[in-house]
């Protein structure tokens, strides 16, 4: 055996990587990859997280309370915590990604709980299911927003509801609340969504919503008024009662009206228009006729002496027609001692009531100045004798001294005045009172007292007590007389027939007697009397047959 060197170790060939990896490891790797993919997809596709600030949590619970729109869940509350200043509550809610594009600055959130008050009963379902957060948005996509201020109350009108939103201004809130109805021709067409103070706290503002299609009847000339539920008036035509709605008794309400003619008027085309709220329907309708007050048509008048009874909103009359109102009454103190103070009245004229629908300020000034030159004056007059209230009248005095308007007066042009008729009316009243005082009231009262005493004595006298018995006897006598007349009238036909037969027999006797004899003459006269008696009795019987009471009444 030949000598051989040591045998070299045999190297095993390296297996490919795919052969070295066991298929058993593929399953956990695939599961991990799938889990990572699911987590990534969930993270990417999850909805936005929003933070809503409320004053109170109102029963909201993290992980349980839902976010709802139209009774459909669109999110879940993930956390509830106090704000950094510890004065409010921050609620973090995760919303559905399908609604993410609509959560912009116009989105609104509010907590829904059971609510029972004078204007509504709502949210009773939450007594069983618990509170939830309502959300609302418009139909247009906008810039994303993630921080919100929650509403204290649920909005009464959903976003996107067709209609028109307006603002009404009033001096007082009255009995108008959130949810109070708005009426047009006694139809409920909208509601009050909010009431608040103006920025300067001088007015109460009501935000209202008018539903479609009723918003098409809103014009710039529309007038809104307070509805108390029952409105009554008393006038020459009697008592009138108007009921707008039974619900307005409890929640209050508003109404609006339009001018009788709408030719040339365009309906409102935008939200946010502002209107004045009038106290009642009558005031609103009067404002339609008189138009909005324009301070350019204000004037002043100075009065000497006392103006007690002249108040703000007193009427300004011209030929018995109201043409304006007194906007303000002030006092002007004299510059020097001993001078008489003057009362200054600011007169707000309403050109529409003067038949001047569209007139410029300069044209009205020129027209009034011409009227003043021809004798137009301002005069104080008595408006009511019982209350002592005064009104302002524009009177024509053609023979008054020539005067002109003071166009340089401040703050408004001045119209000259004339002597008031209050003193003359007062003198007439004093004369009437003095004449009444001169009447002998004591003697009249004594005479009236004596008259009543005599009447009482007459009623208590025995003769008056026996009067019913005497009247009964008289009636019985009348009845017997009537019965006797009826009995007698039943024999009248026989009496007439007997007289007729006797007159015929007398005619037969006269045929055998000489016409020249004395007996003929006497029998002829007797026959004529019997015939006359028969005719009278026959007529009397006919009258009794037609009217049996003729004997008693003396009438045929």
pLDDT for 151 beyond 60: yes
- Whether 262 and 321 share a structural domain: no
- Whether 328 and 220 share a structural domain: no
- Whether 216 and 311 share a structural domain: no
Query: Under a CB-based contact definition with an 8 Å cutoff, are residues 168 and 197 in contact?
Result: no
- Whether 167 and 270 share a structural domain: yes
286 CB-side CA count, 13 A: 14
Q: Tens of pLDDT along 481-495?
A: 666 666 665 655 665
- Whether 121 and 55 share a structural domain: yes
- Whether 49 and 127 share a structural domain: yes
The pLDDT assigned to 230 comes to: 62
CA nearest neighbour of 302 among 330, 336, 335:
330
| Region of 168 on the Ramachandran plot (φ > 0 left; ψ -120 to 50 alpha; else beta) | beta
The pLDDT assigned to 360 comes to: 79
Which of 116, 149, 182 terminates a domain? The answer is 149
Is residue 27 assigned to a domain? no
Q: How confident is the model at residue 351 (pLDDT cuts 50, 70, 90)?
A: confident
Q: 490 phi and psi, to 5 degrees?
A: -70, -25
- Whether 120 and 189 share a structural domain: no
CA nearest neighbour of 255 among 267, 266, 243, 264:
243
pLDDT for 104 beyond 60: yes
Question: What number of other Cβ atoms are within 10 A of residue 523's Cβ?
Answer: 16
Which of 122, 149, 176 terminates a domain? The answer is 149
d(CA 140, CA 159): 10
Q: Tens of pLDDT along 352-391?
A: 777 776 777 788 888 888 888 888 888 888 877 667 788 8
- Whether 369 and 389 share a structural domain: yes
Q: What share of the chain is helix, strand, coil (3-state, %, to 5)?
A: 35, 30, 35
Of residues 422 and 363, more confidence is placed in 363
Of residues 174 and 466, more confidence is placed in 174
164 strand-pairing partners:
210
Question: What number of other Cβ atoms are within 10 A of residue 455's Cβ?
Answer: 10
Of residues 273 and 14, more confidence is placed in 273
- Whether 301 and 412 share a structural domain: yes
Of residues 121 and 130, more confidence is placed in 130
C-alpha distances out from residue 395 to 37, 55, 314, 350, 457, Å: 94, 63, 17, 17, 61
Question: What number of other Cβ atoms are within 10 A of residue 210's Cβ?
Answer: 22
pLDDT for 166 beyond 90: yes
Is residue 526 assigned to a domain? yes
Which of 355, 387, 419 terminates a domain? The answer is 419
The pLDDT assigned to 236 comes to: 43
Range of the domain at 521: 463-553
d(CA 339, CA 325): 29
Q: How confident is the model at residue 89 (pLDDT cuts 50, 70, 90)?
A: very high
Number of domains comprising the chain: 4
Is residue 433 assigned to a domain? no
CA nearest neighbour of 111 among 148, 144, 139, 82:
148
- Whether 393 and 499 share a structural domain: no
3-class DSSP state of 279: coil
348 strand-pairing partners:
298, 325
- Whether 143 and 206 share a structural domain: no
**Residue whose tokens read 């839902």:** 66
Is the preceding peptide bond at 330 cis, omega within 30 degrees of 0?
Answer: no
The two tokens of residue 439 are 């009447």
Is residue 367 assigned to a domain? yes
Is residue 374 assigned to a domain? yes
Is residue 427 assigned to a domain? no
pLDDT for 74 beyond 60: yes
The two tokens of residue 513 are 């007697």
The two tokens of residue 149 are 């201020």
Is residue 340 assigned to a domain? yes
The two tokens of residue 35 are 């889990």
Is residue 329 assigned to a domain? yes
- Whether 351 and 326 share a structural domain: yes
């Amino acid at each position: 055996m030949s000598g051989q060197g040591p045998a070299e170790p045999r190297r095993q060939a390296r297996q490919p990587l795919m052969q070295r990896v066991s298929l058993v490891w593929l399953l956990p790797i695939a599961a991990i990859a799938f889990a990572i993919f699911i987590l990534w997809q969930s993270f990417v596709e999850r909805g936005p997280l929003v933070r809503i600030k409320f004053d109170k949590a109102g029963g909201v619970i993290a992980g349980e309370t839902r976010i709802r729109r139209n009774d459909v869940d669109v999110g879940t509350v993930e956390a509830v915590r106090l704000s950094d200043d510890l004065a409010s509550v921050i609620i973090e809610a995760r919303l559905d990604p399908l609604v993410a594009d609509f959560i912009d600055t116009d989105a609104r959130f509010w907590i829904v709980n059971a609510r029972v008050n004078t204007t509504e009963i709502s949210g009773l379902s939450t007594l069983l299911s618990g509170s939830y957060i309502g959300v609302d948005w418009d139909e247009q996509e906008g810039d994303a927003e993630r921080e919100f201020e929650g509403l204290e109350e649920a909005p009464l009108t959903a976003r996107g509801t067709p209609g028109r939103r307006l603002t009404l201004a009033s001096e007082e809130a009255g009995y108008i609340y959130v949810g109070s109805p708005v009426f047009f021709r006694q139809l409920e067409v909208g509601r009050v969504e909010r009431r608040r103070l103006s920025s300067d706290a001088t007015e109460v503002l009501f935000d209202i919503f008018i539903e479609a299609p009723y918003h098409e009847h809103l014009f710039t000339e529309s007038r809104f008024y307070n509805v108390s539920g029952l409105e009554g008036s008393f006038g020459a035509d009697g008592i009138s009662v108007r009921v707008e709605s039974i619900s307005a008794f409890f929640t209050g309400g508003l109404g609006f009206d339009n001018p009788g003619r709408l030719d040339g008027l365009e309906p409102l085309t935008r939200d946010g228009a502002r209107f004045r709220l009038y106290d009642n329907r009558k005031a609103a309708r009067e404002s339609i006729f008189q138009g909005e007050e324009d301070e350019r048509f204000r004037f002043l008048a100075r009065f000497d002496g006392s103006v007690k009874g002249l108040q703000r909103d007193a009427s300004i009359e011209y030929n018995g027609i109201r043409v304006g109102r007194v906007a303000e009454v002030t006092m002007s103190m004299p510059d020097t001692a001993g001078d008489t103070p003057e009362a200054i009245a600011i007169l707000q004229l309403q050109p529409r009531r003067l038949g001047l629908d569209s007139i410029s300020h300069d044209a009205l000034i020129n027209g009034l100045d011409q009227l003043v030159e021809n004798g137009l004056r301002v005069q104080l007059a008595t408006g009511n004798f019982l209350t002592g209230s005064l009104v302002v009248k524009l009177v024509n005095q053609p023979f008054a001294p020539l005067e002109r308007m003071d166009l340089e007066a401040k703050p408004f042009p001045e119209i000259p005045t004339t002597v008031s008729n209050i003193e003359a009316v007062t003198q007439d009243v004093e004369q009437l009172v003095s004449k009444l005082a001169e009447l002998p009231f004591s003697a009249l009262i004594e005479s009236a007292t004596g008259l009543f005493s005599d009447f009482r004595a007459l009623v208590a006298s025995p003769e008056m007590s026996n009067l019913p018995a005497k009247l009964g006897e008289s009636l019985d006598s009348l009845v017997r007389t009537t019965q006797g007349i009826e009995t007698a009238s039943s024999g009248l036909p026989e009496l007439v027939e007997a007289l007729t037969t006797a007159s015929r027999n007398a005619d037969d006797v006269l045929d055998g007697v000489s016409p020249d004899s004395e007996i003929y003459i006497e029998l002829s006269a007797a026959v004529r009397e019997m015939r006359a008696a028969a005719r009278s009795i026959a007529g009397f019987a006919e009258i009794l047959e037609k009217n049996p009471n003729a004997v008693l009444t003396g009438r045929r």
